[in-house]
Structure 1
Amino acid sequence: MRGALETRLDDAGVGRQEPALEPLKCALLTGCLTGCGGTGCPSCPRLSALRRGGGPARGGMNTWQRRGAFESGTGSEEASSSLSGMRRRAAPSPSGSSPSLPPRKLLALPNTPPTNEDLTRLFKCRECSDFALPPIIQCESGHLVCGSCRPKLSRCPICRIYLGSIRNLALENLAESLLFPCKYIASGCEVTLRHTVKADHEEMCRFRPYPCPCPGAECIWRGPLDAMTAHLLQHHDSLKTLHGDEVLFQATGINLPDAAPWVMLQSCFGYYFILVLEKQENYDGHQQFFAIAQLIGTREQAEKFTFRFKLIGEMQRLTWEGTPTSIDEGIAAAIAKNNCLVFETSIAQLFAKNDNLNIKGTVSMH
C-alpha cells in the first residue's frame, strides 16, 4: 500500500515506524484500497465524491462518525483495532479449509410400507413393459421377460446375455398376493385382478382392440368398441342401414354357389345391430343357413334385448327368438351355440321367391 508507513521521532529522538493515519482514514472513509489518502488516486471514490460536491461514496453513518475522530487527531487505535478485527474474520482456518458448518438435522421419513402399485412395478417385462407373470423367467443379471416375449428372444434386451430358463421364485411367490391392472388400462379399463385370471379377463375386456366385425370383408381394422359403428358406417358404406325396431332383411341370390354372407345394419334404441345370413356346410356335408343378430356392445348390454327372426312365405312362418349375440362372442360362437335361426336349404326354397329370401327382424327391449 503506497504511503503505508511513516517515520516519527519519539521523545528520545529515536526514529520508529508506524502505520500512516491518512491511508487508514481513506480506507475507512471511502473504501479505497490504494492507500492514496484521498488525494492522489484518480479512481479514489472519496476524491471523486468531493469533486462532484457530493457526500462520501462509501462508509455510511458509522464511517462519518469515525471521520471526526481522525480529523481531531484521535481514533488511530480505533481504526487499527477495526482493521485487525476485519483481518481476523477474513483469515482462513489454520488447516486452509473453510470453517465447518454445524451438522444439519435430518427429518425422519414415515416408515410407510410399499403399496400394491409399487410392488407390481417390479414385474415389468424389460422388452414390452407388460407384466412378467408366473412362471417368471429372468436372465443371469435379474432382468425379467414376460411369457409373450420369451419365445421371440434369445438374449436379454438389456444386458445381451443369453436367456436361459432361470426362474425368479421370490417374485413368483410375491405375485400370489398382488393385484395386477389390466393391460388395457391406458384405454380406460380400471380392473385390478389376480394374475391367475388376468389373461381370461383381457381376452374379453371391453377396452381391448376389436377386429372389424363385417363378415366376408378383408378388413384389417382394429380399434375400440366405441369406434366400431363409425368404422362400419364410414368404411363399409355398401352395408345397408335400416332404422326402427322392425326391419325387413332381404337376401338375394341364395342359390348361388359360394355366396358371400348377406349383411345389413339395424339401428334402434340407441344401438346398432349387425344382421348376418350365412350359408355353411354342416358336419355331414349338407348346406344350412344361419341367421344371426349381433349387438355392437357388451354381453351385459345384449342381455337387455330380445331379437326375433321370422321367415315369411306365402303359407308358412318360421320364427326364432332369443338374446342377440354380443360383439364379445362373435358369429362363430353364436353358430356353435345355436343362438341363431337355423334352416336347411330345402326349407329356404319353400320361403324363397325369385331366388330371394325375406326375413323380418324385430328388436324388443326389456
Structure 2
Amino acid sequence: MDITDLHQLILKELECPVCLEYMKPPITLCQNGHNICFSCKPNLYRCPTCRQQFLQVRSISLECLARNITYPCTNRKAGCPENLPMHLISEHQVMCYFGDYECPFSKISNVYCAWSCPLVDLKRHVLRDHRGSSLDIYGGGSFYSHLSPLTQTAKMHKALVVFGELFYAVWKVLEGDFCFTVIYVGPESNSSKFSFKFTITAMNKIETISTCLITRGYNENVDEVLKPGNCIAIHYDTIEKFFAGENKLPFQLEISRLGTSDNDSCHINQNDYNVDNATHY
C-alpha cells in the first residue's frame, strides 16, 4: 500500500456518516465505537449507524490521525484542488474561489436576491439579472460617469466587472460627508491586490480631488467600511462645488491591479456611462 492509498483510507475513516464530510476534532463516539462529527452530533439523539446512545468520550486515536493528514477542500467537486493540514483548511474554505458567494446586491445592499453560487457564475448572474445596476468594463479598469441625483440622503451601489473580477462600488452621504468605497467580491486575501482611484474635476477643469485606496474585503461590515477614516470621505459642501447641473457629480473611477503595469493601460475609450441607472438603496 502506497502513501496515497493510506491517505485515502484514513480519510474514509474520517468520513461522517451524516454529512459525508471529513471529521475534525472533537470527534465523538457512540457505545459501539462509531464516530460522528461535531457539527452533526447536536442534531442527533442516537448514533445514525447503530441507534445506540453517544458517549461523553472522544475518539482520541482518530483525532490524532486527523491532526497529521491533509484535508481536501469541501469545494473539491466544484474544482478546488487544495489539500491542506487541518489547521489551514478551514481558513481556506472561508475564502475559497470555488465556494458559494451570496449575491452582493443582497449581502451588501439588502436588495432581495436569493442567488448564491461560485464566483464564475455570480459574475454572469450580476450582469444578466442586475443589468441596470452593473457594468462590464471590457479591456480595462477606468471609466467616466456621473452620480445623479446626489443628495444628502442618497445611497447608491453599482456592480463592476473589471479584469474579469467582480467589484461592488457603494456610496452614500453620512452626516454631511460623501462616503465612497469599492469592495472586491471574492476571496478575502485578493482584496489587497487591487486599488481604486476616485477623481472629481470642477467645471473650470482646474480644481480636482483624487484619492486612491485599497479595495475592501467582501466579508467586511459595509456600515463600518462606509465611515470617514475607512473610505473616501469628502464633505458634502465641497462635493456640491463639483456638481455639473442639479445634483449631478461627474467622476472618474479607475480600478488597478497592484504590482503590475495595468495602471498604464487600463483606460478605455467609452462614452460616458449614465449612472442614473445605479440602484438607490
Q: In structure 2, how many angstroms separate the alpha carbons of the residues matched to 1:293 and 1:299?
A: 14
**Equivalence for 1:361:** 253
Find the aligned partners of 1:274 and 1:249 in 2 and give their Cα distance: 16
Quote the residue 1:224 is aligned against. Answer: 118
Return the alpha-carbon distance in structure 2 between the equivalents of residues 336 and 199 of structure 1: 31
Q: Using the alignment, how far apart are the partners of 1:198 and 1:337 within structure 2?
A: 35
Alignment of 1:157-236 (within 5 A): 157-214=48-105, 215-216=108-109, 217-236=111-130
Identity across matched positions, percent = 24
1:290/1:341 contact within 8 Å kept: yes
Q: Kindly indicate whether the alpha-carbon contact (under 8 Å) linking 1:310 and 1:319 is maintained by their aligned counterparts in 2.
A: yes
Change (3 A) 1:264 1:193: closer
1:163 Cα shift? 3.2
Shift of 1:320: 1.3
TM-score (norm 2): 0.74
Q: Contact 1:189–1:207 (CA<8 Å) still a contact in 2?
A: yes
Report the secondary structure of 1:165's partner residue.
Answer: strand
What one-letter code is carried by the residue in structure 2 that aligns with 1:250? Answer: H
Structure 2 counterpart of 1:294: 183
Three-state SS of the structure 2 residue aligned to 1:342 is: strand
| 5+ residue gaps, structure 1 | 1-110, 281-285
Q: In terms of mean alpha carbon deviation, does 142-151 or 311-320 score higher?
A: 311-320
- Asked if the contact 2:16–2:23 (Cα under 8 Å) also holds between the matched residues in 1, the reply is yes
Is 1:252 matched with 2:148? yes
Q: Deviations for 1:203-232, whole angstroms, at most 9, x for unmatched residues?
A: 111111001012422212110011111101
Residue identity in the other structure for 1:311:
I
Q: Which has the higher strand share?
A: 2
Amino acid at match of 1:130: E
The answer to whether structure 1 residue 238 and structure 2 residue 238 are counterparts is no
Give distance in 2, aligned partners of 1:188 and 1:232. Answer: 22
Could you tell me how far apart the structure 1 residues matched to 2:95 and 2:156 are? Answer: 25
Residue of structure 1 in register with 2:212 after alignment: 321
C-alpha distance in 2 between matches for 1:328 and 1:296: 9
> Is this contact kept in 2: 1:140–1:166, CA < 8 A?
no
Query: Pairwise mapping of residues 102-117 of structure 1 onto structure 2 (< 5 A)?
Result: 115-117=6-8
Distance 1:175 1:336 in 2: 43
Contact 1:180 1:192 in 2 (8 A): yes
Structure 1 residue 301: deviation in Å?
5.9
Partner of 1:263: 158
- Equivalent position SS for 1:120: helix
Distance apart, 1:309 and its partner CA: 0.5
The residue type paired with residue 261 of structure 1 is M
Q: For residues 340 and 174 of structure 1, do their structure 2 counterparts lie closer, same or farther at Cα, with a shift above 3 Å needed?
A: same
TM-score with structure 1 setting the length: 0.59
- What 5-or-longer segments of structure 2 have no aligned partner? 261-281
Deviation, structure 1 residue 234 = 1.3
Q: Which amino acid aligns with 2:119?
A: L
- Return closer, same or farther for 1:270/1:171 CA change in 2, 3 Å cut-off: closer
In the alignment, which residue of structure 2 is the partner of 1:59?
Answer: none
Aligned equivalents of 2:37 and 2:255: distance in 1? 45
Q: Secondary structure at the match of 1:202?
A: helix
Given that residues 202 and 242 in structure 2 are in contact (C-alpha distance below 8 angstroms), is that contact kept between their aligned partners in structure 1? yes
Paired with 1:331 and 1:249, the residues of 2 have a C-alpha distance of 23
Number of paired residues?
249
